[in-house]
Amino acid sequence: MTQELTRSAREAARTRLTDAGVWDVEGDLDALQERFLAPGTPTATARFEAAVAERCRRIPLGHIIGSASFDGLELVVGSGVFVPRHESTALVAWAADEKTLPYEGTALDLCSGVGALGLALSRRRPDAAVTCVELDDTCLQYLNRNTARHQAVLGRVSVHAADLTEPGCLDAYLGTTDLVMANPPYVSPDVRLLPEWSEHQPRAAVYSGADGLDLIRRIVVLAAAALRPGGHLALEHDRAQPEQVRELLRGDSFEEITTFTDTAGEPRITVARRTDHGGTG
């Protein structure tokens, strides 16, 4: 009876999720079944069906199950925070290379959210000192929870609450940082997004000015000031923005400006090296 309940509930859910336009039906089914249907009882089936109904309304899977896997870490997430994208692990892999971040180096993860980039980097490079910078109170709660939860596998991680638009927000790191990385909001209001992002993610984590690049412009300036000569900057952005982001980096402050693809093969990550001379962009 238990197996029959599970099989019947899963088949009905598959049809509902397909009709709702969910892009990874089987992956979502597996996650929802593991989280809600494992006991295979009528009560569990009711919980599973309620969760499926939420996913059919295009509420992000992470918000429903309460967590998201990212580069070997199970991060706590929920309504009001951006769910990390697996595709961003390509940025972490680049950042963790000792050609990018020297041994016992220092890194800033700006717009850290729930801490995906910063904590994943610290897990890979426990010798480094990583500071996660975030403004939003809800994100900070999740960031602190995730930092504490994974403390056993992390190196030196600190959390800094700061508004990147405020003068002096990163004065403590001027000229001393080896790596600045960020997955900031970068979407223009004119871009049409799937409901998971346009309706159910916090707008401040998605949109940034008329062309989507307002915060990236600010981060370029902040990174130029924070990085030591030879330090590195990594920015995640929209797949349509590589040339615009590279143009923002051109000048006296950065060189070796390159865009590479995320794990989905999209050109979403642009990196640069701080020059040994020049101004702050």
pLDDT in tens, 203-213: 887 877 889 89
pLDDT confidence of residue 187: 83
Residue 29: domain span:
2-57
Please indicate, yes or no, if residue 67 is contained in any of the structural domains. Answer: no
Instruction: Tell whether 63 is covered by a domain.
Output: no
Average pLDDT of the segment spanning 87-98 = 98
Same domain? For 16 and 87 the reply is no
Joined tokens for residue 183: 């997955």
Is residue 49 situated within a structural domain?
A: yes
For position 277, what pLDDT does the model report?
73
- Rounded mean pLDDT of 195-200? 81
pLDDT tens track for 155-175: 999 999 999 999 999 999 999
Same domain membership, residue 85 and residue 53: no
| Dist CA 127 CA 163 (whole Å) | 27
In the prediction, which pLDDT does 178 show? Answer: 98
- In this structure, the answer to whether residues 95 and 208 fall within a common structural domain is yes
As for how many domains the chain has, the answer is: 2
Q: Is the pLDDT of residue 48 over 50?
A: yes
68 domain-assigned = no
Average pLDDT over the chain, rounded to whole?
93
Instruction: Please report the pLDDT score of residue 97 as a whole number.
Output: 98
Q: Does 137 lie in the same domain as 30?
A: no
**Percent of the chain topping pLDDT 70:** 97
In this predicted model, which residue has the larger pLDDT, 44 or 127? 127
CATH number at residue 135: 3.40.50.150
Regarding whether 132 and 255 lie in a shared domain, the answer is yes
Q: What is the pLDDT of residue 281?
A: 42
